Structure 1
Amino acid sequence: MARPRQFDEEEVVQAARDQFWSVGYNGTSIDDLSAVTGLGRGSLYGAFGDKHVLFLRALDSYNSAALEAWGSALGGPGPALPKLERHVRDVAEGITRDVERRGCMMAKIAAELSSVDESVAERIAATVRGLHSALRDCIARAQAEGSLDAGTDADNLASLLLAVLRGLEALGKAGAAPEVVNGAADQALALLPRVSTDGRAAGSMSSAGV
């Protein structure tokens, strides 16, 4: 009869996630994973099969948390436009607070493995679609509420904002000053196709056909 495991799998996955996040997949050895999780090689192999399986569990954990955070920030009751504005600013603030420049695990892993690992590429593409959908749905609600121009394509606007947010991540990793990151976020928000009090579109993006 197999003995019950004496460890919490989710805690192990979280510890492995932090290790992969810090130094990447190729930079992490089984010995590294053993050190950060407190489990011997045999226990790791017995619970997860191999390094790649544990890595995918860790990546799934990170991606799920990101999707949940974006969904919570951009969804729920209340006016949509303030949620969108706060989310963009919160992402920028988070980037400026990342003094270790660890950045986004998904972006790091995409650069390292997406071109050579189909399972990783599929997971990251699905997560990007989820982030885009959260933005698009928030924009569509703001349009329905009359705060953003309903004539603007919500999908295209979501794509643009997602590109801005991912670009802010790259700026932060490159060591850009906080005022540069926050300034870019503020400028992106200033260009949103808002509807003025007289009901006309007031932003620059609508006139550009976004």
Structure 2
Amino acid sequence: MNVYSNILLNHRSSMTTVSINQRDGMTRQKTFLREDIIDKVIGVFMTKGYEGASVKDLVDATGLHPGSLYNAFGNKQALYQAALERFDAMSPFNRLLDLADTAPPRESIEQLLEGVVDPDLDSDGVAGCLLTYAAAEVGATNKELAKSLHMSFQRMEDRLCRFIERGQECGDFSSTRDPRDLAQFLLSTIQGIQVISKVTKEKAHFRAAADVAIKALDQVRN
């Protein structure tokens, strides 16, 4: 049966109404949370990447007609951008970073590193950082996505820097090193672990790197 779909987005309620008009004149409607659709495609992009994710993969994951999916988000890149923004806002790593002004500095950074070394799998067995994978895949070829990713990583660095500043103020970390330099080092270590974890599961190596990162916060500059 030939169908075509129209999607109306209610941005205030984040609800997506899918209207499927069939050839016999009958219309069926189904309403989804926009975030639920994005959450389903995040798993696809995490495992297959941006280029590797086919329309069929995205349709199978969401249960939506291709026309419905693209009418809602515009095109594949816009859907990918929505997935990146959703991941940026909702990942446990970034949600902990959001507590940079209030959470215990040392304990929080140790938790961040532990989460990278030994991540909890989601219900689909997917772990890792979509932002990191996106930077490695499209950062050099897609200027629009690269700009968005740069802003996300800058926010991570800023929050790590705030944790370190507070840790230095309360005596958790040595105050002889510049907190911005340490934040950049930590972020580079974290992103490096996440990239390498795509090809090896040697957690002992990652844990050693995390231990070095923590020691760098304690080290007194000569």
TM-score, normalized by the shorter chain, greater than 0.5: yes
Select the structure that is richer in strand. Answer: 2
Contact 1:62–1:105 at 8 Å: present in 2 too? Answer: yes
Name 1:177's counterpart in structure 2.
202
C-alpha separation in 1, matches of 2:56 and 2:118: 35
Are 2:77 and 1:34 equivalent residues in the alignment?
A: no
Name 2:31's counterpart in structure 1.
7
Select the structure that is richer in helix. Answer: 1
C-alpha separation in 2, matches of 1:103 and 1:146: 32
Are 2:97 and 1:71 equivalent residues in the alignment?
A: yes
Map 1:152-191; keep pairs closer than 5 Å: 152-191=177-216
C-alpha separation in 2, matches of 1:151 and 1:68: 27
Are 2:48 and 1:23 equivalent residues in the alignment?
A: yes
Unaligned runs of 5+ in 1: 194-202
Map 1:85-164; keep pairs closer than 5 Å: 85-94=110-119, 103-164=128-189
Name 2:12's counterpart in structure 1.
none
> Aligned match of 1:52 in 70, 77, 89?
77
C-alpha separation in 1, matches of 2:112 and 2:168: 17
Q: In the TM superposition, what is the alpha-carbon distance from 1:151 to its structure 2 partner?
A: 3.0
- Give the TM-score normalised by the residue count of structure 2: 0.76
C-alpha separation in 2, matches of 1:172 and 1:73: 26
C-alpha separation in 2, matches of 1:146 and 1:55: 42
C-alpha separation in 2, matches of 1:86 and 1:28: 32
Unaligned runs of 5+ in 2: 1-6, 9-16, 19-29
Secondary structure of 2:175's counterpart equals: coil
**Quick one: structure 1 residues 32 and 74, their matched pair in 2 at CA, closer, same or farther if it must change by over 3 Å?**
same
Contact 1:70–1:131 at 8 Å: present in 2 too? Answer: no
Where does structure 1 differ by over 3 angstroms across 4 or more consecutive aligned residues?
2-5, 72-75, 100-103
Q: In the TM superposition, what is the alpha-carbon distance from 1:153 to its structure 2 partner?
A: 0.5
- Give the TM-score normalised by the residue count of structure 1: 0.80
Q: In the TM superposition, what is the alpha-carbon distance from 1:41 to its structure 2 partner?
A: 1.7
**Quick one: structure 1 residues 182 and 101, their matched pair in 2 at CA, closer, same or farther if it must change by over 3 Å?**
farther
- Alpha-carbon displacement from aligned partner over 1:82-135 (angstroms, at most 9, x marks no partner): 22223222322228x79x786321122112211221121011101110111111
Of 107-116 and 84-93, the range deviating more from structure 2: 84-93
**Quick one: structure 1 residues 101 and 19, their matched pair in 2 at CA, closer, same or farther if it must change by over 3 Å?**
closer
Contact 1:22–1:102 at 8 Å: present in 2 too? Answer: no
Q: Percent identity?
A: 25
CA RMSD of aligned residues (A): 2.5
- Alpha-carbon displacement from aligned partner over 1:136-173 (angstroms, at most 9, x marks no partner): 00000011112323232110011111111112223322
Contact 1:73–1:87 at 8 Å: present in 2 too? Answer: no
Structure having greater relative contact order (Cα 8 Å, sep ≥ 6):
1
Q: Which amino acid aligns with 2:42?
A: R
Q: Which amino acid aligns with 2:102?
A: G
Contact 2:189–2:213 at 8 Å: present in 1 too? Answer: yes
Number of aligned positions between the proteins:
193
